Amino acid sequence: MKISVVIPSYKPKEYLQVCLKSLEVQTIEKALFEIILVLNGCKEPYYSEIQNYIQKSELNITLLQTDTPGVSNARNMALDRARGKYVTFLDDDDWISPSYLLELYELAESGYVPLSNIIAFKDKTNVELPYYITDVFNRYHNDCLEYNVLQIRSFMSVPYCKLIKKEIIGKRRFDTRFKNGEDSLFMFLISNEMAKFKFTSSNAIYYRRVRENSAVTQKKTLKERLMNNFHLCVAYSKIYWGGVRKYDFKFYLTRVLASIRNVFGKQSKKGY
């Protein structure tokens, strides 16, 4: 098995079928990738509906279920079961272009951590939205150059849009204490093993659906943001100082500064 596609799902709607159908039309051979879909939270009627879909599909799908909610917990369960040489993350309300897995895989086999194009759009309207990671991709992908972690730090705020060697992840997992910022924290945690990055063509696209009232878009109080990001800064610092020779200091500093800025709901245009 070459690739494990990790999909956490909570009370999935019709979006999940769109997500899975995008995997059905991948140009890479189906035998080369598996899908580990973790249903976290309520089991029925969702579990039975997904089972019915699996029975009719040619995809290699492993369906797991846990009563414990939380995207981090779901991803951790999937990582424990992943058999692929590489891992990629996909949210259940997003989807990918047909060449996505193949282009990522080809670059990964060449020794790079591959980074894909990403397009954010507003749910129901399909209107494309400004997105700082997209700006970085558009600025650099035509260069066909090799980049380091500090140069592509915007991509390190999310786990998707890339293919990660499973041995890089090892036994390290998402921190389930956090509901916001956990993605960036996880990527920082494994960044010490990621040296060379390269962009795919613009045809390998991760489509990110922005929905109202999602966990990402829900407003938090100042106190909630303050406490969450204070503890994030502590977590970043423990990781960095626990392996000070392995982590990039400037990259660590950008993570802490981003956490401080996010207390006030500000996103850097530079994508720190």
Number of H helices, E strands in the chain: 9, 10
Buried b (16+ CB within 10 A) or exposed e, 174-196: bbeebebbbbbbbbbbbbbebee
Which whole number is the average pLDDT over 15-38? 97
Which whole number is the average pLDDT over 198-225? 83
What burial class does residue 16 get, using C-beta atoms within 10 Å of its C-beta: 0-12 exposed, 13-18 middle, 19+ buried? Answer: buried
**Confidence label for 223 from pLDDT (cuts 50, 70 and 90):** confident
- Tokens 């999935």, located at residue: 12
Q: How much of the chain, in percent, has pLDDT values that exceed 90?
A: 86
Buried b (16+ CB within 10 A) or exposed e, 73-89: bbbbbbbeebebbbbbb
Q: Structure pTM? A: 0.94
CA distance 206 to 161: 6
Bridge-based pairing of strands 205-210 and 95-96 is antiparallel
Average predicted confidence (pLDDT) for the chain: 93
What are the chain's domains? 3-263 (3.90.550.10)
Residue 52: pLDDT over 80: yes
Cβ atoms within 10 Å, residue 227: 13
150: tokens are 């500090």
